[in-house]
Amino acid sequence: MATNETQLAPYQSEYIDLALKWDILRFGGPFTLKSGRKSPYFFNAGLFNSGLKLQKMAECYANRIVASGVEFDVLFGPAYKVCRSLTQGIPLVAAIAIALAKDHGRDVNFCFNRKEAKTHGEGGNLVGAPLKGRVLVVDDVITAGTAINEAVDIINSQPEAKLEAVVIALDRQERASEESPESAIMQVEKRLGIKVYSVVTLNQIIKHMEQTRGEEARKDIESMVEYRARYGTSA
């Protein structure tokens, strides 16, 4: 789920710094989450929306994938039908495949789905490489786990495909509900029997900001620590 949190890898530090620089990681609010909670911070991965930003984001994902050691045959970037922007998954999955080839010498297949099935030509709703073998799903966040179910349904509809793991931008490390001690990510891992890897976690963001921003960001750091104490998981 997360990397070793006692020490951040260089790509994780860079990812957090860029998120702060480009106002992708925002503070203040409060920001209302899908859960109804009022959060003092918001991470909007959809704002990695220029060539340079997408390149940097993809490089960090690629580094996380390599560091995880996960073995897979195809990257899958879902275009969800639920209420979200036309997912980062489509451009991101292609950019990650490029980063893996350029920076790590790994030429991997990638695939994404259309939100609506094509009715002309070859038809169908999948674009890119065949969706078969071990599938690594690329996403930005997992909140309630509802959206990831759509990706699972698509993968399960392909007889030669098997969900291997999921990689996301941020693990907020908060309980899925007041009644549960587990996060949505923990629940997805348990229910599907897979691992969910994140580029960074909330704990890592707090740690990095404490080390690099200090008093300059004291108020924002304290608000995240308070939020974590109230809603965070025990793990």
CB under 8 Å to 232, separation ≥6 — which residues? 173, 174, 175, 202
Token reading at 78: 């879902």
Q: How far apart are CA 125 and CA 127, in angstroms?
A: 7
- Residue type, position 34, single letter: K
Q: Which of 146, 137, 133, 135 is nearest to 188 (CA)?
A: 146
- C-alpha dihedral, 72 to 74 to 77 to 82, nearest 10°: -80
Cβ-based burial of 111 (10 A; exposed 0-12, middle 13-18, buried ≥19): buried
Q: Which residues are catalytic?
A: 118, 120
Place of tokens 């921003």: 213
Q: How far apart are CA 173 and CA 206, in angstroms?
A: 12
Provide the 3-class DSSP secondary structure of residue 87.
coil
